Amino acid sequence: MKFVIDSVSKCSGRLGTLSGIERHPKLSVKTPLLLQTTRGGSIPYMSREILEMTTDVNQLVLSINLTTTVEMLESVRTSGKTFSSFVALSECLSFLSFKDTNEETKSGHHEKAGVPLFSRHGKKVITPEIYMDFVETFQPDFCNLLSDGDTTMTSSKKRGIHSVSRTADFAQKCLEIREKRESLKKVFTLAPIVGGFSHANRRKSLEFAQEATQADGYFIDGLHANGETAVLVPETEILEIAKICTENIPDEKLKMIPGAIPPLLVLKMIQLGVDIFDNTLPYLYSLKNRALVFGFDEQAASGKRILSINLADQKFREDFEPVLDGCECLTCKKHTKAYLYHLIDCQELLGMILLNIHNFHHYRGFFASIHRHIASDSLPNLIASIEAQSDGENFSGIFQQSSKSIAKSSKPASPANDSLSEAEDSEEKLTNTK
């Protein structure tokens, strides 16, 4: 697989193409690209039949994570199929990553040999060798190299230093294994850039990324703990780190930032040259009974709009209009806000299914709009529109639980972070003694 930049605009970022895919030689996908997140290889609340009714399956790119698939290694290996074929989505390209971006990742329990993975079956330590076994068995079209991205805004300086050194070690070992195994040589790989919110640590990590010339792109990690925490990271802080990273790596290579990034921040990151995101955000909105309704293109000019509405609100009890006027998704064409309110009120599974259909469709439409705005170099207009619609969105109110946990782990929690780093120091001293 190869990445080619098709055009670079003056104020709106760039358009690119991923092509030369071994499994699908005639298929190409455009960037900025939206990955479809999965859990256990399945798209949440969406069957194969629903997918065929609501989207072009051939254009879906699956984001597969080890957190929810770690127990599937032997089953996939025995089948002799690629992971995409194993989950009955052989038409789709696939990206393999370590963490589940839909759910907050458990922190701590670091080990020098590998990265701790917490699944429903407990803790497992994933070494570079084990990780590359998964890559070899699952046969993704592209993947990021193993990294220790366990850093957030509240992480201590020592945690950031350990994150950088271990990531360089893990990623280098992954690259060495890739060169030794014939079946891995054609896998498109992304080198991780970590270091939390420390500029010095990020620059140290960038040194390894710049030296890893075998890698085909870059994966900017360690900005949040996944799940709802990604939505609550201050925009200025995350953009500053993204800018440091994108300005210090080759322009011609692919760049990715994972997690539930708000629409306005997505647009500003695209201006910095980031090419790949995922659709964690619309899924998290569905879990909160909220439907995305923000406008883009000509929709944005049709009166005042907001980012989302809460369909659990009683004011929709007798609202027999579609979720969003003009939306062509299956939910809006067939059902009303009142019906979704009823399903949510009764805790019916169908409510979540219909919300996901709408939110995923709306977010894909948003990315199609982004492509058009980049092509016409008018992304600043879209940014201004989304910024106006984002003003009334109370992210900390919508994601209250994560907001409380982040508040708890701010300044008063720094001693705990330092003690975590001290524990890591003790662990390394013990290893060196042995």
3-state secondary structure the chain: CEEEEEEECCCCCEEEEEECCCCCCCCCEEECEEEEECECCECCCCCHHHHHHHCCHHHCEEEEECCCCHHHHHHHHHHCCCHHHHCCCCCCEEEEECCCCCCCCCCCCCCCCCEEEEECCEEEEECHHHHHHHHHHHCCCEEECCCCCCCCCCCCHHHHHHHHHHHHHHHHHHHHHHHHCHHHCCCEEEEEECCCCCHHHHHHHHHHHHHCCCCCEEEECCCCCCHHHHHHCCHHHHHHHHHHHHHCCCCCCEEECCCCCCHHHHHHHHHHCCCEEECHHHHHHHHCCEEECCCCHHHHHCCCCCCEEECCCHHHCCCCCCCCCCCCCHHHHHCCHHHHHHHHHCCCHHHHHHHHHHHHHHHHHHHHHHHHHHHCCCHHHHHHHHHHHHCCCCHHHHCHHHHHHHHHCCHHHHHHHHHHHHHHHHHHHHHHHC
Beta-strand relationship, 217-220 and 254-256 = parallel
What tokens were used for 227? 């799940």
State the amino acid at position 346 in one-letter form: C
Beta-strand relationship, 290-292 and 308-310 = antiparallel
Q: What integer is the mean pLDDT of 256-261?
A: 97
What tokens were used for 408? 């708890």
The predicted structure's pLDDT at residue 119: 86
Q: CA-to-CA distance for 65 and 51, rounded, in angstroms?
A: 20
The predicted structure's pLDDT at residue 404: 52
pLDDT digits (tens, 9 = 90+) for 223-258: 999 999 999 999 999 999 999 999 999 999 999 999
Q: What integer is the mean pLDDT of 272-278?
A: 98
The predicted structure's pLDDT at residue 402: 56
Q: What integer is the mean pLDDT of 347-357?
A: 97
> CA angle, corner 246, sides to 244 and 249, nearest 5?
105
Compare 120 and 391 and report the one with higher pLDDT.
391
The predicted structure's pLDDT at residue 303: 58
Q: Which residue do the tokens 């209009």 mark?
A: 321
The predicted structure's pLDDT at residue 411: 46
What tokens were used for 87? 């989950």
What tokens were used for 409? 């782990």
- CA nearest to 271, candidates 260, 255, 249: 255
pLDDT digits (tens, 9 = 90+) for 209-225: 999 999 999 999 999 99
- CA nearest to 269, candidates 257, 287, 259, 279: 257
The predicted structure's pLDDT at residue 393: 93
Q: At residue 277, what are phi and psi to the nearest 5 degrees? A: -135, 180
Q: Which residues contact 434 (CB under 8 A, 6 or more apart)?
A: none
pLDDT digits (tens, 9 = 90+) for 60-114: 999 999 999 999 999 999 999 999 999 999 999 999 999 999 999 999 889 999 9
pLDDT digits (tens, 9 = 90+) for 283-317: 999 999 999 999 997 555 455 789 999 999 999 99
Question: Does the pLDDT at position 430 exceed 50?
Answer: no
The predicted structure's pLDDT at residue 400: 78
Mean pLDDT, rounded, of the chain = 91
What tokens were used for 176? 């060495």
The predicted structure's pLDDT at residue 418: 40
Q: What share of the chain in percent tops pLDDT 70? A: 91
Q: Residue 416's pLDDT band (boundaries 50, 70, 90)?
A: very low
User: How many other CB atoms sit within 10 Å of the CB of residue 46?
Assistant: 18
pLDDT digits (tens, 9 = 90+) for 13-22: 999 999 999 8
The predicted structure's pLDDT at residue 412: 39
What tokens were used for 232? 């609550």
Q: What share of the chain in percent tops pLDDT 90? A: 87
Rg of the chain taking only CA atoms, in angstroms: 21
pTM for this structure? 0.91
Q: Residue 397's pLDDT band (boundaries 50, 70, 90)?
A: very high
Q: Residue 419's pLDDT band (boundaries 50, 70, 90)?
A: very low
Q: CA-to-CA distance for 319 and 284, rounded, in angstroms?
A: 24
The predicted structure's pLDDT at residue 120: 82
